[in-house]
Chain A
């Protein structure tokens, strides 16, 4: 197979088409949209985590000279819109009617002439609350005396949401009973937030004359949003147009529908004017989709000489006050079932219990690939805990236990079929780049001097590209994606896709896929996305599914056009289509390469008076819906090197080596950028990010003053490597990759820090590894970083 570097047209390091507008400030993000007569909305939010609403007095706000409407839960109840369905078949309050259930929850919506007046009016609304006891600690949510948060739901008498399990419990118990070594560890993957730099927002415009609703929105899944609006509001789908313009990062934060979007739509209906709603940072952090919050108990079984045999896991999943988690319907714990990782196990079992707490809804976000972040963190920490017990080097223990190339396709103990992999090669490459043995020698010397240096290894298998329609859907919508390709008479093309970029470079890479398949320059392929009136139906961009699903659709629709072009070329050359052969960009006569027609020539002929065979319609257009046969399973080997200051607990990430294998790389430059960004996410989660709460349910991570993101100073210079193991079932052998680095890196950082603290007897520290947390762990007094110190 030729490498991606050698092919001039199509795949390769093509600089991005998107950049021209962004470097000059000419992108169009939601808050840049201005419509005639547009009004501005703002949300009044609950100051309390759990309280009964006694009364809401909006009279003073309504008297404000610039206020056009004040909408409350009662207003919405009259329209049947006070509650909305979530992506997990639960309900979520749009504006609270009975109770507030988390701090920052939406209580009222003001529409005013400008954003300053809207904010002024919020302060004129008087809400009387009757405080209720709160549930903050998920592990206490099912206590008999815990207050019932969802007393709005029939038959809900406690805070239990679901129980879900995977694997064979009996067999796993047998393997554990017979194992020579069993170790266990409790670990929390704390609540974090994706915090895209652009917050969520919308401009809703209900045209009373045409009856058409147009919604500009920060959505990663515009078609799904349209269908849900149609179902909820009763507006027919052809009268709803969702436009997802340029999005300033999504990271899973912009998959679902938020109350603010619904309020803006209602605001537009009520006032007859377009209504813009753009949340501020604090609102984004406090009320939109959080990520993680898995309390995990892991057990790992092995033989005494280090053959890993089994994993047994129990999880309490904190879902907040409404179960709005975004994942395929049959997977309430997402794809956590891939927690068996990159190892050949004899047995495995996991059980996940979801509970309600008085916190914002969410769970699946922030490049998690539907809970794969949690799964990978669990197994990669457990392997390190085992290595520590056995006194084995963690890289060596992994190398011994990794799946071998000959075992693929490999069926895991929880039923996933990994498509392809050469794991030992990737780990060896990472160790070579790191000079692993030298690092261990350096560490030994430093330990002798009392200095704390740590080396962390993480090896992950991702699961991306949801997914096969037969068992993957969101609210009943099967997870297939469409593509439409139209080649114009002069050989320029338009590709319309159902997925929605938020910075991942689809406008460039999808043009490259068509270029690769048709042999026309990527510059001549315009990629259209994000407008439901203009693009085919599909489920949007998240779970690194664009390349596996929509990328496959783009390749196949181009192949359909290529086959049509073959028939046109055969008519032009007056030969049988079977006598034609394809070379990039051209059909030619077998045995006579001079006799051929380029795609541009064929495109013109397809639109001309040329007589075509019976049944051939002419033109060069095609559509395709791709239903993937399986997910793609990219993988990677990461090594992190840290220095820890024993006196302050400060962690310095000195080096980070990341070897990723996502099969064939459409644009290596863009893949590397995706990896860089994901590594920064992982480092941020491991070292500084947490949405913590105090005992009253006050959110302690509600601004960038407390919710810390890595800057250019904390991030090291990333060192990347690649191997290429194509996906056998994907049309161009490509796997998804966008979330790999976020999934794989936190365990490497934590493993490194715990490794550094090993001389002090530390075996585990929960994220985030802030100086305080590390210092306390070193003192033998671990800190619970998701809760305020009381």
Chain B
């Protein structure tokens, strides 16, 4: 067992963990933060994407002990005082989710993109989300949601328009 201290979504935790414990299992099974799901066993799908010390990581491919002393943000730590972030709102308004299983990782990956490149074009969004598989949406509405945030178009009440992708 190895001792770790890690801050997750603003809360500090001290724990004893097996060195082989994956970060995603630490979050889900130990801390009960089940908002970060698992979709594969080969690091392809990105459903488990979280932020670790400012970088986007697939938490199925990080050991919990590697997060020692670090700061983790999951999708459950995004909304403040019940207020959704712009990305969460845009995903809702643009119908960028269906079963919701890829959504946490997708939102975390999109957040990472917009931090590095606040005004991406359509192709840049697609490229940035290449590490996140979605089985339901065919990606188009996800791209539209991310572009809507980049272009400041998530004002409440605005309705989704045509099915055509917004071209940047």
Contact = CB atoms under 8 A, between A and B. Distances in A.
Contacts of A22: 97, 100, 103
A715 to B, nearest CB: 5
B88 A718 contact: no
Contacts of A248: 37, 39, 99-101
Contacts of B21: 116
A281 B41 contact: yes
Contacts of A717: 122, 140, 143, 164-165, 167
Interface in B24-61: 25, 28-29, 32-42, 44-45, 47
B92 A15 contact: yes
Counting contact residues on chain A (CB < 8 A from B), the size range is 35 or more
Given A29-B37, A31-B28, A713-B130, A677 B44 contact: no
Interface string A31-58: 1101000000000000000000000000
A24 B140 contact: no
A25 B35 contact: yes
B135 A13 contact: no
Nearest to A703: B42
Interface in A56-115: 114-115
B127 A673 contact: no
Contact of B42 (A673, A676, A705): A705
B138 A678 contact: yes
Contacts of B41: 280-282, 703
A35 B74 CA distance: 23
A401 to B, nearest CB: 29
B136 interface: yes
Interface in A191-216: 195-199
- Most chain B beta-carbon neighbours within 10 Å: one of A25, A247, A251: A25
A789 interface: no
A248 B103 CA distance: 10
- Most chain A beta-carbon neighbours within 10 Å: one of B37, B74, B107: B37
Interface stretch (A342-350, A469-477, A499-507, A634-642): A499-507
A764 to B, nearest CB: 27
Nearest to A682: B138
Interface string A495-530: 000000011110000000000000000000000000
A465 to B, nearest CB: 21
B95 A713 contact: no
The main secondary structure of chain A at its interface with chain B is loop
A711 B128 CA distance: 11
A23 B160 contact: no
A672 interface: yes
B14 to A, nearest CB: 20
A27 interface: yes
A13 B98 contact: no
Interface in B97-135: 97-104, 107, 122, 125-127, 129-135
Contacts of B42: 281, 703-705
B18 interface: yes
Given A23-B84, A23-B91, A197 B99 contact: yes
A669 interface: yes
Contacts of B165: 717-718
A681 B134 CA distance: 10
B155 interface: no
Contacts of B159: 13
A674 B74 CA distance: 28
- Most chain A beta-carbon neighbours within 10 Å: one of B75, B93, B98, B137: B98
B78 interface: yes
B142 interface: yes
A590 B28 CA distance: 61
A669 B97 CA distance: 12
Contacts of B164: 717, 719
Nearest to A668: B163
A24 B127 CA distance: 24
A25 to B, nearest CB: 2
Contact of B135 (A18, A249, A670, A720): A249
B101 A19 contact: no
B20 interface: yes
Contacts of B125: 712
Contacts of A680: 135, 137-139
B74 A196 contact: no
B95 A197 contact: no
B139 to A, nearest CB: 4
Given A198-B39, A712-B139, A19 B97 contact: yes
Nearest to A196: B135
A28 B35 CA distance: 9
Given A25-B74, A248-B100, A709 B141 contact: no
Contacts of B140: 676, 715, 717-718
Contacts of B2: none
B76 interface: yes
Contacts of A199: 39
Contacts of B138: 673, 675-680, 715, 718
A26 interface: yes
A31 B38 contact: yes
- Most chain A beta-carbon neighbours within 10 Å: one of B78, B98, B99, B103: B99
B95 A503 contact: no
Interface residues of B, number: 65
A31 B47 CA distance: 14
A705 B37 contact: no
Given A198-B39, A673-B95, A704-B40, A25 B104 contact: yes
A449 B63 CA distance: 54
A440 B68 CA distance: 60
Contacts of B91: 19, 23
Contacts of A19: 91-92, 97, 100
A20 interface: yes
Contacts of A411: none
A246 interface: yes
B98 A116 contact: no
B30 to A, nearest CB: 10
A7 B33 CA distance: 41
A27 to B, nearest CB: 5
A503 B133 contact: no
A238 interface: no
A712 B99 contact: no
B12 interface: no
Given A248-B100, A717-B165, A23 B135 contact: no
A712 B129 contact: yes
Contacts of A679: 138
Given A676-B137, A677-B136, A23 B97 contact: yes
A677 B98 contact: yes
A549 to B, nearest CB: 21
A712 B35 contact: no
B45 A197 contact: yes
A527 to B, nearest CB: 16
A16 interface: yes
Nearest to A282: B41
A591 to B, nearest CB: 38
Contact of B76 (A25, A116, A674): A25
A142 B35 CA distance: 49
Nearest to B125: A712
Contacts of B97: 19, 22-23
13 contacts: A19-B91, A23-B91, A25-B36, A198-B39, A280-B41, A673-B141, A676-B137, A676-B140, A681-B135, A711-B131, A711-B132, A719-B163, A720-B163
Given A680-B137, A711-B139, 20 more contacts: A13-B160, A23-B88, A23-B92, A24-B79, A24-B88, A114-B29, A116-B20, A196-B99, A197-B45, A197-B134, A248-B100, A669-B160, A674-B98, A675-B138, A703-B40, A705-B42, A712-B126, A713-B126, A719-B164, A720-B163
Interface of A: 13, 15-16, 18-29, 31-32, 34, 114-116, 195-199, 246-249, 251, 280-282, 502-505, 669-670, 672-681, 703-705, 709, 711-713, 715, 717-720
Q: Which 6 A-B pairs have the closest CB atoms?
A: A25-B35, A22-B100, A503-B99, A248-B101, A676-B138, A503-B98
